[in-house]
Amino acid sequence: MVPHLVTALTGPINELEQRILESMPVIERWFRLEWMEHTPPFYSAVDVRNAGFKLTPVSTSLFPGGWNHLSPEMLPLAVQAAMAAIEKICPEAKNLLLVPSDQTHNSSYVSNLARLSQIFNLAGLNVRLGSLKPDMKEPEQLTLPGGETLTLEPLQRGKRRLGLKHFDPCTILLNNDLTAGVPGILEDLHEQYLLPPLQAGWPTRRHSTHFRLYEELAKRFAKMLGMDHWLIHPASVGCGELDLTTNDDVAALQTHVDTVLTKTRRKYKEYGINEKAFAVIRRDDGLAGSGPWVVRDAKDVPAAIATASAGALKGPFLVQEGVLTNERVDEAVAEPVVYMMDRYVVGGFYRVHPDRADHQGLVGPGASFVPLAFEQGGQLPQPGVRPGASSPNRFYMYGVIARLGMLAASYELEATDPDAETYD
């Protein structure tokens, strides 16, 4: 079922859709050449915001945990992509160890684990789940919504390898973003494939690095299509480490907010956009449960952060141009999330929040998910259809932007690879 989209796309986005559709072979070849030089993350998910005049990724996750939200029709694509990824990385693999996040009490997250296990089973691997909980002694049964269970087992670390009792995996797949830090049990694993690599976790990643690399790609991509890269890039400023309990650092933050708002208002004027610019303040290290905080003026900053905990206020920050989302599902605000396996777009869904407004983030309690049920698959745009009128065309466009975000992440992983060779 295709979600009921109230959005009437007008203006720059329709031109963008048109430009992207006309340039399909050029775009696909451009990606192919990039993949000859850069390795895609093993899997990824990109939140895309479509403001009607601008289309950008706002968040790229390298540990996507919502595979249960993909519609069943998309599974064959995901399985085929997983097969391609495995062949490329570890063709002789037999066993895959899946390491979940700490959300295993949440039955929706457990459904995600079941779906991931199914995908890799069907791609031809034996899959078992191993927990990072250090005090775990015995296997635990995780409950799925229908009552069935998945088994979560204690990890066993040898000198050189990580596994489970009677299970020696070739491949270890992390579904845990390591927000809590890199556990010793995952370090120095040189004989097995650890996917994604440790530098994909939040102890190393920074949104600001991602968006800086993304901007470089967006500029090249936009130049190729003869358009303004602002249409596909949210202005982002890394603020570095701030202690927002101190006035000095709040002031520093306000300066960055001003910079971003001024730039945005200038662009809105240039394009005749009748919206109020806003900025989003985020933790640069992805720390959950703190923000994002939305402000329309630098002087709103103190009020916005007033209820945050001290822990949330001390750390690295990013200020980003706010991007509205023009998508609605049954009148609730929605944003598309595109899922990828290796370089392939395999599906997606709408994150929907009936209680949030179009400038707010939609993550959090109350959010629901509507599978993007591509009538003919997200890969199958219909050239020649009136721009804005075709769901498959729109999804193709989202897939292109999502892949740009994913490509930026692959540049990130290279840039932060501790084992990278340096050529003097």
Check residue 245 for interaction with a second copy (CB under 8 A): no
Total residues in contact with a second copy, by rule CB under 8 A = 42
Check residue 148 for interaction with a second copy (CB under 8 A): no
Q: CA-CA distance, 278 to 127, in Å (whole number)?
A: 45
DSSP string computed for 264-314: HHHHHHHHT--S---EEEEETT--TTS--EEESSGGGHHHHHTT--HHHHE
Pick the binder of a second copy from 94, 220, 223, 299 (CB under 8 A).
94
Nearest to 17 by CA among 181, 232, 313, 247: 232
Q: CA-CA distance, 405 to 30, in Å (whole number)?
A: 14
Check residue 419 for interaction with a second copy (CB under 8 A): no
Write the DSSP symbol of residue 352: E
Pick the binder of a second copy from 11, 35, 240, 294 (CB under 8 A).
35
Q: How far is the CB of 21 from a second copy (least distance, A)?
A: 11
Check residue 344 for interaction with a second copy (CB under 8 A): yes
Check residue 168 for interaction with a second copy (CB under 8 A): no
Check residue 80 for interaction with a second copy (CB under 8 A): yes
Q: How far is the CB of 92 from a second copy (least distance, A)?
A: 7
Cite the beta strand spans of 106-216 per DSSP E: 126-131, 140-143, 149-154, 156-157, 162-163, 171-174, 193-195
Query: Which residues in 364-403 contact a second copy (CB under 8 A)?
Result: 374, 376-381
SS3 of 113, please? Answer: helix
Pick the binder of a second copy from 48, 79, 277, 362 (CB under 8 A).
79
Pick 115 or 157: Cβ nearer a second copy: 115
Helices (H) and strands (E) in the chain, counts: 9, 18
Residue 213 tokens read as: 């690399």
Pick the binder of a second copy from 5, 84, 89, 367 (CB under 8 A).
84
Check residue 70 for interaction with a second copy (CB under 8 A): no
Tokens 């101190």, residue located:
246
Pick the binder of a second copy from 124, 139, 238, 302 (CB under 8 A).
124
Q: How far is the CB of 122 from a second copy (least distance, A)?
A: 6
Binding mask 13-32 for a second copy (x = CB under 8 A): -----------xx-xxx-xx
One-letter amino acid for residue 132 of the chain: L
Check residue 151 for interaction with a second copy (CB under 8 A): no
Where residue 263 falls (left for φ over 0; alpha for ψ -120 to 50; beta otherwise) is: alpha
Check residue 348 for interaction with a second copy (CB under 8 A): no
φ, ψ for residue 242 (rounded to 5)? Answer: -130, 150
Q: CA-CA distance, 308 to 220, in Å (whole number)?
A: 39
Q: CA-CA distance, 223 to 239, in Å (whole number)?
A: 28
Scanning 102-110, 120-128, 199-207, 415-423 for contacts with a second copy by CB under 8 A, the matching segment is: 120-128
Pick 62 or 79: Cβ nearer a second copy: 79
Check residue 89 for interaction with a second copy (CB under 8 A): no
Check residue 2 for interaction with a second copy (CB under 8 A): no
List residues binding a second copy (CB under 8 A): 24-25, 27-29, 31-33, 35-36, 72-73, 75-77, 79-81, 83-84, 86-87, 91-94, 118, 121-126, 344, 346, 374, 376-381
